[in-house]
Chains A and B, each alone.
Chain A
Amino acid sequence: MRDWSTISLREELINEVRELLKTGRYRSVSEFVSEAIRLRLEEVSHSNGPATPKRDPLTTMVPPRTEHVETPPDIVVDRLEQVWLVLARLFGDMIQKNLDVNAEIAPKLRNCRTLINFIRAHTCPGCDRDAVQYRLQDLQHSLEKVKENLIEDALRVSENYAKKWVNLLDEAERADLQIITSSIYTFVPGLPKDPETEWVRLTLLKPIAKEKAEEISKKFGVTTEFTGDSQLVVRGDKNSVREAVRVLYQLQS
């Protein structure tokens, strides 16, 4: 049987933690305090220098959180998405370094992304909450598996390398990371809608001269309209548009 102790804290501090509970990141004051103590202990052990006994990076990871049943799924999924993004970056980093990565990781990461997108689409009041909770648990479980596999692979590189990523994953677990994801709103009023012509909107890395763009438009028989310094809409016949866009893009270099 586990032993428990009672500690005393000032009411102001407790109230601040209670405020934090409303965000759903922690389910109780005890959970918050336990985590705070564990992290502080870790910091102290780091600052003690080499005399501190070595710890396996896996054991220093924040343990998978069992979500409180009432934590809104969108809050949970926000945090899990951050974890997913770190894992995807770790996977990419290992591929870049030509390291041997478990072949199942990419499909598993894709499956996790699918589940994240699924849960995000299910936030309306009429949604089947049980299905969402089921997929949420599925996602947590799948992410844990990917994390285990990737950290195992990372440990083969070096302990420091694995630890660096473990720390990032810890931050994501605590929702301290804020990796920006792209917006989904893609509608732009006033874009062409003419069935006779194709159009492409091209975003350049740096602006090009309007005269030069006009010259190319003339050459390929297309029309070009600047919608920003380095953004233009090219309209015309399908093949001509593609060729013109290719040439316009090359103008930058």
Chain B
Amino acid sequence: MHETSGILVIGGGIAGIQAALDAAEQGATVYLVEREPSIGGHMAMLDKTFPTLDCSACILTPKMVEASRHPNIKLLAYSEVQEVKREGKKFSVRLLKKPRFVDESKCTGCGVCAQHCPVEVPNEFDAGLGVRKAIYVPFPQAIPLKYTIDEKNCIKCGLCQKMCKAGAINYDQKPETINLTVGAIIVATGYATFDAHKKSEYGYGRYPNVITNLELERLLNASGPTGGHIMRLSDGRIPRKVAFIQCVGSRDLHVGNPNCSGVCCMCAIKNGVLLKEHVHNVDVTIFYMDVRTFGKGFEEFYQRAKNEFGINFVRGRVGKVVENPETNNLLLRVENTETSEVIQEEFDMVVLSIGVLPSGGISEISKILDIPIDRYGFFEENDIKTKPIESKVEGIFVAGAALGPKDIPDSVADASAAAIKAVTFLTGEK
């Protein structure tokens, strides 16, 4: 395969990584572009995966390491696609490699710079629960393991420069333009989550013990900000009574998202089970509209959660969450629609199962690649039944949650399919 017949994979989450690995294994040169400092995406934030409760890191990190060491994969993290032009049957691509302000030829990844940095800000990777320094790697298993100065929070105190014995700090580093020519493109830009502040009735942002399911994932994770210890954000106390509120920002016309997010029911059940395993005698209640456990082994897992782990399931839409200012406990009022009984109950912690939305940069990528998005805001398939991973533009394929809410197995399946399609497309050209 000719060098310029490479494949550009946009997005370094599980779908992008899988597509890159599969295409590279077929002999294609792959350029894996990720806008964040590390690949890994949302999956890197998760603790366990449903329904098997396999460790998320155990599945993902070997793939991340493999992608970084594969001879056919050129990893371009902290880079963004700026322009794509069709030139005959090829695509001419312009990328912007953002400055890390750290000389990659000198940084060993020792982390001394971060130890001495005086500035701490919320760590996006920990869903804002933990803190990181102004010079940082998002998480210990980040790939590439290159420290990055967060320009907007750095006060240029010079401590990192002083402490870095390797002399890797370079405040004068400039953005770099990279030009590529590729024969096919795979878009795997993933998804964004619903901003829980928009459902003000649940008090997210006002009440510290109202958290999202992504935040709970970080609390449950052994490499998370609490080392896997479940605690309330207000006082660090272990919660004994936890409520999950489902469909926050999904199946909700008030916030403009009529869709089911597909994964939240299983996420909540899985996290409920994990809570039961982490905290002795914790009481878990899931308030739901419908339990949608459609995948292989999902229904069995739901039944186990109910019967074996003793998780309570209450069918009803919670109207409002009110905080007791003295205890920071949360009062929920809800009608059980199966019994018509109105329940008013106090919980130590409330977890909002926030919906899956199109990724933040999807409109921009759509414009750059000239591929349409559908009425739900995700990329539109060429034909949902017969060409589900092809875009409307020949040579551009889409995989994973960039097409709509998807769980990990479906995203991986999409990615492998997109890789084969892209390689076949290139081979067909020759």
Q: Do A and B come from one complex?
A: yes
B-contacting residues of A (Cβ < 8 Å)? Answer: 85, 88-89, 91-93, 95-96, 103, 105-107, 109-111, 113-115, 117-118, 120-122, 124, 126-128, 131, 135, 182, 184-191, 193-195, 198-205, 238, 242, 245-246, 249
A95-B167, A106-B106, A122-B58 given; A204·B129 CB < 8 A: no
CB–CB B55/A127 < 8 A: yes
Q: A117-B141, A245-B155 are in contact. Are A200 and B223 (CB under 8 A)?
A: no
What secondary structure prevails in chain B residues at the interface with A? loop
B226 touches A185 (CB 8 A): yes
- A204 in contact with B227 (CB, 8 Å): no
B62 at the interface (CB under 8 A from A): yes
Query: Nearest residue in B to A238 (C-beta to C-beta)?
Result: B152
Q: Which of B68, B106, B143 has the most CB of A within 10 A?
A: B106
- The chain B residue with its CB closest to the CB of A115 is B65
Query: B224 → chain A, closest Cβ, in Å?
Result: 8
Question: B residues within 8 A CB of A114?
Answer: 65, 68, 109, 141, 143-145
Closest 3 CB pairs of A and B: A92-B165, A187-B225, A186-B130
| Known contacts A110-B145, A121-B61, A242-B152; is-contact A193 B121 (Cβ 8 Å) | no
Binds A, one of B233-241, B261-269, B272-280, B302-310: B233-241
Instruction: Take A117-B140, A131-B62 as given contacts and tell me if A110 and B225 are in contact as well, using a CB distance cutoff of 8 Å.
Output: no
Q: Is B126 an interface residue (CB 8 A)?
A: yes
For chain B, the bracket of interface size reads: 35 or more
Collect the chain A residues with CB atoms within 8 Å of residue B146's CB. 110
Residue B107 is within 8 A (CB to CB) of chain A in the complex: yes
In the assembled complex, the Cα of A246 lies from the Cα of B153 at a distance in Å of 10
List 27 A–B pairs whose Cβ atoms lie within 8 Å, in order of A's numbering.
Answer: A88-B166, A89-B165, A91-B108, A95-B165, A103-B105, A106-B107, A109-B108, A114-B141, A114-B145, A117-B140, A121-B61, A121-B141, A124-B58, A126-B53, A126-B55, A186-B130, A187-B126, A191-B122, A191-B131, A193-B208, A195-B197, A201-B120, A202-B118, A202-B120, A245-B119, A246-B156, A249-B157
Query: 1/0 per residue B133-153: CB within 8 Å of A?
Result: 000000011111110000011
Please, which residues of chain B bring their CB within 8 A of the CB of A107?
Answer: 104-105
